[in-house]
Amino acid sequence: MRHFASLDPLVAPRSIAVLGASQDPLRIGGRPIAYMLARGFSGPILPVNPNRDTVQGLRAYPTLADAPGEVDAAVIAVPGAAAEQAVADCIARGVKAAIMFTAGFAEVDEAGAAVQARFTAAAKAAGMRLLGPNSLGLFNARLGYYPIFSSSFENGWPNLGRIGIASQSGAYGTHLFAIARDRRLGTPVLVTTGNEADVTLGEAIGWLVEDPDTDVIVAYSEGVRDAPSFLAAIETARAARKPVAMIKVGRSALGARAAQSHTASIAGDDAVTDAVLRDAGVHRARNTEELLDIAEVAARRIYPVGNTLGVVTISGGAGVLISDAAEAVGLAMPPMPAEAQARLKALVPFCNPSNPVDCTAQAFNDMSVIGRFAGSMLGDGGYASAIAFFTQVGASRSIAPSLREQLDRTIAAFPDRLFVLSVTGPPETIRAWQDGGYLVFEDPTRAVNALAAMGRFGEAFCRLPAAPLPSLDEPALPATSPDEAGAKRLLAAIGIASPEEEVCTTADAAVAAAGRLGYPVVLKLVSPDVLHKSEIGGVKLGLADAGAVRSARDEIIAAAARHAPLARVTGVLVSPMLTGGVECVIGVARDPVFGPVAMVGLGGIFVEVMRDVALRLCPFGEADAEAMIRSLRGFPLLDGARGRPRMDVPALADALSRLSRFAAAAGPRLAGVEVNPIMVLPKGRGAIALDAVITLEEHDATRS
């Protein structure tokens, strides 16, 4: 079943009308017609212009209603004041999809947003898909279909191939296409979504994923506007083994504000977006060069699981550079087997046969040596990916032909491997290598990044769908945010343990509770209005006797009166002082785009200063929770580093998973949860919530 088939009339129509059609092929309403005539679109092209009988040699029609036959798609290239009526005309005519070039709506002001909302609602009610407004358009070069007004085609048409482009920005989308064209990459389909009043970036990606003629998708995003369609698209891509590489801008606060202004998208939190992309196996590229490097290598459709890199080089320095780059991106470079090293050493006594294998430039005196070194690298070494660094020697007229002969024979024996040649030379020589089927990168570190991404794609593609999670009923949330004791009761109900503790309203009650619980104890202010109790003196630790408890209780109450005079104070919470574990933090925040997102980190400076946290969309199971925990830089502190006891990581993973399921079931009233710290005790002893804050949207009794 295809989930994104509703975009077929938009991306692959049988006929198209152009509202606002122009005789001038350089005007916005004229370029689509000129392009489709030039590239041989086979279906009817129906210009709509009340002032002309013909447009660019085609019969024109005064209104869309006058155009004959079925109309699959329509370009709306009319002034802003006429756009809403143009949508109505398309609906009345039974048009299946419209591409709106017209701008000046939600990306400008509230009045524009209101107009956009009206015509979008009308289009949706009629079942007509709408691309834009404020869209540059799209193209499908396989059909000669160009409902787009970019001038980029004046420098060349798209190459046919199997890479698709989806972009929220029209100008940057065509920028990607133009660079890909100049790099001789085939990008026959581009969709730019503009304001995304209806058709979203996720749907454009999804259509490309379901297109049997597209193998690789590259995307440019300024903010995910519709999370469900986006998540469905990237999961469809993962299940179909089709890699998605994306530039997602807005990492900085300034960039996020610029994206909001430009596309009327909701940027969301960048760290959350990063986690979503990573979990789905989407490669987040840092720049255009990296994005297209990934696409070029991914088009080979080799995605190794357990990826390893072998390097054969004539430069020891280049070998070190490549090794550094591989370590930085986590691409393993295990050494060659000892027996193979011995054979290579016998062949060239002064070589370095480990990995990188440095055969030195002397090997070019006997070109067969190069073939034997490369063959040993792929055969004996068994590396899934390989780089051969031959610099300008590999492009010299005197050497390249015989080198090509050796490598052709070697690589033909290993069609399942990714092999990159790093050479530099005249463009015609590089083209000759590429025409021979070689991936060529002048800078070997770019090759390392691209090869590492192929392994990550492979790992994502082979990941089995998560097992169904135990059902969790929607929890009964109180009308207002609870205090710490109330928060812990809610958490206890879902299986997250807390210490035995008591809320006390008097000093005598606190002393009695401390005696029952056993010294030393901790006293904390209990108030739903004070989230950071320690900052106002609302926490006292290590209280060893009754006198200390009395004094601490009085100091806490006085501090609350002094620093938070309007806060509601229930009393003090008396808890036993737990030691011998590692303090962590788990929590949930509601992202404006993706909904509840769970986090885990090490406590103290690790979360506050080093930002050592892992994020994941809710809900998820214990296996995913444990993977999050193990991804932390500080995980060795939980895993017995420097002779420490191993902590109960499974118990922490269980608590994190339960919290994620609670958040997913709780609905939008749950604004956030923070369990900080949660004490992870030695293995087998569990994880205990020492403090908890649950923040709720206030319950409106008039809606119940």
Mark whether 142 and 171 lie in a shared domain.
no
Do 517 and 633 belong to one domain? no
* CA–CA distance, 657 with 650 (Å, rounded to integer): 10
Residues 281 and 161 in one domain: yes
Query: What CATH number does residue 630 fall under?
Result: 3.30.470.20
- Asked, for residue 139, whether it belongs to a domain, the answer is yes
List, in sequence order, every beta strand (DSSP E) within 125-203.
129-131, 138-140, 163-167, 189-192
Q: Which residues contact 482 (CB under 8 A, 6 or more apart)?
A: 489, 490, 528, 694, 696
pLDDT of residue 543: 95
What CATH number does residue 116 fall under? Answer: 3.40.50.720
pLDDT of residue 610: 67
Residues ≥6 apart with Cβ < 8 Å to 450: 290, 293, 294, 296, 297, 420, 441
Cα gap 132→602, rounded to integer Å? 44
* ∠ CA 276-277-278, rounded to 5°: 95
DSSP state, 400?
H
Count of domains for the chain = 5
The reply to whether the predicted model has a pTM over 0.75 is yes
Residue 697 belongs to a domain: yes
How far is the C-alpha of 225 from the C-alpha of 231, rounded, in Å? 11
Q: Is 613 helix (H, G, I), strand (E, B) or coil?
A: strand
Specify the amino acid at residue 473. Answer: D
**Residue 324 within any structural domain of the chain:** yes
CATH number of the domain where residue 182 is located = 3.40.50.261
Tokens 């009650």 -> residue: 509
What is the longest distance spanned by two Cα atoms in the chain? 99
115: tokens are: 């107009």
Residue type, 353: P
Q: Which residue has the tokens 């986590």?
A: 330
Closest among 578, 531, 572 to 552, alpha carbons compared? 572
Q: Which domain holds residue 567?
A: 500-576
Q: Which residues of the chain, if any, have pLDDT below 70?
A: 251-268, 361-364, 604-610, 699-704
Contacts of 585 (CB under 8 A, 6+ apart): 599, 600, 601, 602, 603, 607, 613, 674, 675, 676, 677, 678
Looking at residue 386, the DSSP 8-state letter turns out to be E
Given this model, what pLDDT does residue 126 score?
Answer: 98
Residues 384 and 426 in one domain: yes
Note whether 703 and 669 are within 8 A (CB). Answer: no
Residues 41 and 109 in one domain: yes
Same domain? 605 vs 696: yes
- The domain that contains 510 carries what CATH number? 3.30.1490.20
- DSSP tally for the chain: helices H, then strands E: 22, 28
Q: What is the pLDDT of residue 700?
A: 54
- Residue 340 covered by a domain: yes
Q: Is residue 304 part of a domain?
A: no
594 vs 272: CA distance, rounded Å: 8
Residue type, 377: M
Q: Is the peptide bond before 335 cis (omega within 30 degrees of 0)?
A: no
Domain boundary (299, 327, 354) is at 299
Nearest to 433, CA basis, from 418, 449, 447, 422: 422
Residue 585 bridge partners (DSSP):
601
- Using DSSP's 3-state secondary structure scheme, residue 16 falls into strand
Pair (221, 124) in one structural domain: no
Query: Could you tell me if residue 173 is inside a domain?
Result: yes
Give the end of a domain, one of 528, 546, 576: 576
Instruction: Give the pLDDT score at 268.
Output: 53
Under the phi-then-psi rule, with left for phi > 0, alpha for psi from -120 to 50, and beta for the rest, what region is 191? beta
Tokens 């760290």 locate to: 271
The reply to whether 552 and 618 lie within a common domain is: no
Coil/strand/helix, residue 311: strand
Q: Is 488 a member of any domain?
A: no
Residues 567 and 620 grouped into a single domain: no
Q: With b meaning 16 or more CB within 10 Å and e meaning fewer, what string describes 611-642?
A: ebbbbbbbbbbbebbbebbeebebbebbeeee
259 located within any domain? yes
Which of the listed residues 149, 170, 194 is the one where a domain comes to its end? Answer: 149
Query: Is 382 found in the same domain as 284?
Result: no
**CA–CA separation, 441 and 98 (whole Å):** 41
Radius of gyration of the chain (CA): 31
Does 267 share its domain with 165? yes
Q: How far, rounded to the nearest angstrom, does the alpha carbon of residue 17 sit from its chain's CA centroid?
A: 36
Three-state SS for 51-70 is CCCEECCEECECCHHHCCCC
361-388 residue pLDDT tens: 666 677 888 899 999 999 999 999 999 9
Place of tokens 């998973």: 657
DSSP type of residue 162: S
Q: Looking at the structure, do residues 442 and 321 belong to the same domain, yes or no?
A: yes
